[in-house]
Chain A
Amino acid sequence: MTTAVPASSAGASSAASPDRAARTQSPFWRNMRKFADNRLALASGVVVLLFVVMAVAAPLIAPHDPNATDLFRRLQPPAWMAGGEWAYPLGCDALGRDILSRIIYGARISIFIGTAVILVATTIGILAGLAAGYLRGWVDTAISRLVDILLAFPYLIFAIGLMAMMGPGLSNIVIALAYKEWVIPCRVVRGETLAAREMEYVEAARALGAGRARIMWREILPNILSPVVVVSTIRMANVIILEASLSFLGLGVQPPTASWGSMVADGRAFMLEAWWVSTFPGLAILLLVLSLNVASQGLRDAFDPKFHD
């Protein structure tokens, strides 16, 4: 049985919270509802959130110190295999470190680097894209040429080249990946800005005497943010794989810090006797990247009607 809500009460409630009513009517929230209707995308979003929680709360969740070695537990198998124990559910690596704890701590590296690179790259991309698209002229030419040049490098090769020159380390990975990553939001923002600068609301702001910075920042940016957010989410999965690849090659996060890529690399030498050392960290990368990909596709479908097939 459904309960009818009196019109007056509904009216009173929307009058009482006009902000909320406006919010639920705004295109952003309409698209978010569309995203929430896509169950697979929503479930993937939840998985991503769980990884984030795991990364943030790693010291509380991890059963052991990720760097504590115990040579008596060298290559100890997972709990369900002979010789395993439930205190070390996913087994131990060659130095007797708990693989589950290292995976939990490794999430911090992947998510921190993914988020940091995307934040830095998106900020630079937005600034450069707005400037190129709105100011045009030599600014546009200079930025567009730089974008063309950076696009000429295959991503992993560029990052490997930079890491070789700068040396390994957390901040260097962020710099190496952000160096090229910013061109993607920049291209999106430039394209959207080129279209937006001819719109009536921008012309109106110009007629009212608004300065260039104000028009770019206060008028154009809020209207073009959705595609940038969607593209950034899509790119995050890629950045996480690149970080893991660099760490796998020994150019990323250095030991003993737990990183999924270097954990997979550590297990290569023991493939024959201890498959679990490489397998579980790899599964963690796959699960996070897959969830990010599905969730970001859901976002893209919800925010961009062109992508429905």
Chain B
Amino acid sequence: MTLGKFIERLAQLVPVLLGVSLIVFLMMSLTPGDPVEIMLGDQHVTPEQEQALRHDLGLDRPPHERFLVFIGNALQGDFGTSFYHRRPVGEVIAERLPATIELTLVAMILALVTAIPLGVLAAVKKSTIFDKASTVGSLLGVSMPHFWFGILLLMLFAVHLHWLPVAGRIDYEYQVEPITHLLLVDSLLRGNIAAFGNALSHIILPALTLGLAMGAILMRVTRTSMLEVMRADYVRFAEAKGLARHRILFRHALKNALIPTVTVAALETGTLLGGNMIVETIFGWPGLGRLVVESIFQRNYPLVQAAVLFYAVTYVMLNFLADILYTILNPRVKL
């Protein structure tokens, strides 16, 4: 892909991002209830003070001006003040984000590490018991409600067997000086193996819950694309040449079969972002998803607005990256 095409594709994102911002802005503006009253809560203020606060928040301006101010501020990372925390929304989100990123990454790795070998095996052993079991497994994975699966895992491994912790990211007795703010990485970088083990034991259940549906989808995609590739002429030619089966599978077939898997994985990250809200709530994971759910009940709208915008922009960028990745992996496809 040429640089010109890349820039053209990037430019196409601008109207989408503007539209996304407009929808998020409208969501906030059409909300019933006065933000000033919500912010003041039970505090008694004079009408003048209330008017001054309304002016400070820009709520006395016409909607189109407020939208332009919203966009301008958002571009500078200013999403207003969290009603609940009384601090800038950006700051509160930045604190919670690493936990969500860490959980999403581990869920994604778990999904890929299990889905690819199982998908390849299902294709190689097509129509056998293993293939049928994998079909049933992936259907179950797609149909399983996140929140219920998480609770089942909690009941079994945390409550009854006591193998894994019930909630949180790490036990209080472990202190890890942050470098990347990803606990697993930081504890390794600091050489604190005990903290690493503790953080790992905390992340396993939420990551499994979050990655289940993604793993199920990726397994089906890998199986289907592997079957397709194994029917291709170059694989048949390799077989006719007498190449060893494992060499054909891993050197020739898998390389091409993985293209759709990688692309779908990038696209499915959006689903993981949504799933985070549920999983973080169940497992008391101190991430952005749980913060958003808490903020909804606190009617902390600036934070909900900023988080929805953040998720949507991340999702758009991930889709964009998936497109780019697809053209890099498969040069026959043009943007």
Contact surface of A with B, Cβ cutoff 8 Å: 145-146, 148-150, 152-158, 160-165, 167, 237, 241, 244-245, 248-251, 261, 264-265, 267-268, 271-272, 275, 278-279, 282, 285-286, 289-290, 293-294, 309
Measured CB to CB, the nearest residue on chain A to B274 is: A156
Which B residues are CB-close (under 8 A) to A162?
A: 27
B16 at the interface (CB under 8 A from A): yes
B180 at the interface (CB under 8 A from A): no
Task: Verify A152–B315 contact, CB threshold 8 A.
Answer: yes
Task: Verify A154–B270 contact, CB threshold 8 A.
Answer: yes
B325 at the interface (CB under 8 A from A): no
B152 at the interface (CB under 8 A from A): yes
Which A residues are CB-close (under 8 A) to B159?
A: 271-272
Which of B54-62, B136-144, B245-253 is the interface stretch? B136-144
Measured CB to CB, the nearest residue on chain A to B281 is: A249
Measured CB to CB, the nearest residue on chain A to B26 is: A165
Given contacts A145-B19, A286-B143, A286-B148, contact A271 B154 (CB under 8 A): yes
Which A residues are CB-close (under 8 A) to B274?
A: 154-157, 160
Which B residues are CB-close (under 8 A) to A152?
A: 16-17, 19-20, 312, 315-316, 319
Complex CA gap A241/B140 in Å reads 13
Shortest CB-to-CB span from A304 to chain B, Å, is 14
B293 at the interface (CB under 8 A from A): yes
Mark contacts of B7-29 with chain A using CB atoms, 8 A cut-off: 1 yes-contact digit, 0 otherwise: 00000000111011001100110
Given contacts A160-B292, A165-B31, A249-B277, contact A149 B20 (CB under 8 A): yes
Which A residues are CB-close (under 8 A) to B227?
A: 309
Complex CA gap A237/B30 in Å reads 30
Task: Verify B145–A289 contact, CB threshold 8 A.
Answer: yes
Complex CA gap A150/B16 in Å reads 9
Task: Verify B308–A237 contact, CB threshold 8 A.
Answer: no
Complex A-B, nearest 7 residue pairs according to Cβ-Cβ distance, in ascending order: A156-B274, A282-B148, A149-B19, A290-B143, A154-B270, A164-B296, A289-B143
Shortest CB-to-CB span from A160 to chain B, Å, is 6
Shortest CB-to-CB span from A107 to chain B, Å, is 15
B273 at the interface (CB under 8 A from A): yes
Question: How big is chain B's contact interface, by range?
Answer: 35 or more
Task: Verify B315–A154 contact, CB threshold 8 A.
Answer: yes
Question: Contacts A165-B31, A285-B148, A286-B145 given; 18 further ones with Cβ under 8 A?
Answer: A145-B15, A149-B19, A152-B20, A152-B319, A154-B312, A164-B296, A164-B304, A165-B27, A241-B143, A248-B278, A265-B147, A271-B151, A271-B159, A278-B151, A279-B152, A282-B145, A286-B144, A294-B139
Complex CA gap A271/B282 in Å reads 12
Which B residues are CB-close (under 8 A) to A278?
A: 148, 151, 155
Which B residues are CB-close (under 8 A) to A156?
A: 271, 274-275, 277-278
Complex CA gap A290/B140 in Å reads 7
Per DSSP, chain A at the interface is helix
Q: Which of B23, B28, B296 contacts A160 (CB 8 A)?
A: B296
Which B residues are CB-close (under 8 A) to A289?
A: 143, 145
Which B residues are CB-close (under 8 A) to A285?
A: 145, 148
Measured CB to CB, the nearest residue on chain A to B227 is: A309
Measured CB to CB, the nearest residue on chain B to A146 is: B19
Which B residues are CB-close (under 8 A) to A163?
A: 296
Contact surface of B with A, Cβ cutoff 8 Å: 15-17, 19-20, 23-24, 27-28, 30-32, 139-140, 142-148, 151-152, 154-155, 159, 224, 227-228, 270-271, 273-275, 277-278, 281-282, 292-293, 296-297, 301, 304-305, 308, 311-312, 315-316, 319
Which A residues are CB-close (under 8 A) to B28?
A: 165
14 CB < 8 A contacts A-B: A153-B312, A158-B308, A160-B293, A165-B31, A244-B145, A248-B145, A248-B278, A249-B278, A250-B297, A264-B145, A264-B147, A285-B145, A293-B142, A294-B139
Task: Verify A157–B148 contact, CB threshold 8 A.
Answer: no
Which A residues are CB-close (under 8 A) to B315?
A: 152-154
Measured CB to CB, the nearest residue on chain B to A265 is: B147
Complex CA gap A309/B227 in Å reads 8
Measured CB to CB, the nearest residue on chain B to A283 is: B148
Which A residues are CB-close (under 8 A) to B31?
A: 165
Given contacts A161-B24, A161-B27, A164-B304, contact A293 B139 (CB under 8 A): yes
Measured CB to CB, the nearest residue on chain B to A148 is: B16
Shortest CB-to-CB span from B203 to chain A, Å, is 20
Complex CA gap A163/B15 in Å reads 25
Complex CA gap A249/B305 in Å reads 18
Which B residues are CB-close (under 8 A) to A153?
A: 20, 23, 308, 311-312, 315
Which of A145, A165, A241, A309 neighbours the largest number of chain B CB atoms within 10 Å of its CB? Answer: A165
Complex CA gap A278/B224 in Å reads 35
Task: Verify B16–A167 contact, CB threshold 8 A.
Answer: no
Complex CA gap A261/B278 in Å reads 12
Q: Which of B15, B30, B145, B146 contacts A165 (CB 8 A)?
A: B30
Shortest CB-to-CB span from B67 to chain A, Å, is 15
Task: Verify B277–A264 contact, CB threshold 8 A.
Answer: no
Task: Verify B146–A245 contact, CB threshold 8 A.
Answer: yes
Measured CB to CB, the nearest residue on chain A to B13 is: A152
Task: Verify A271–B155 contact, CB threshold 8 A.
Answer: yes
Complex CA gap A272/B278 in Å reads 20
Given contacts A156-B277, A250-B297, contact A167 B271 (CB under 8 A): no
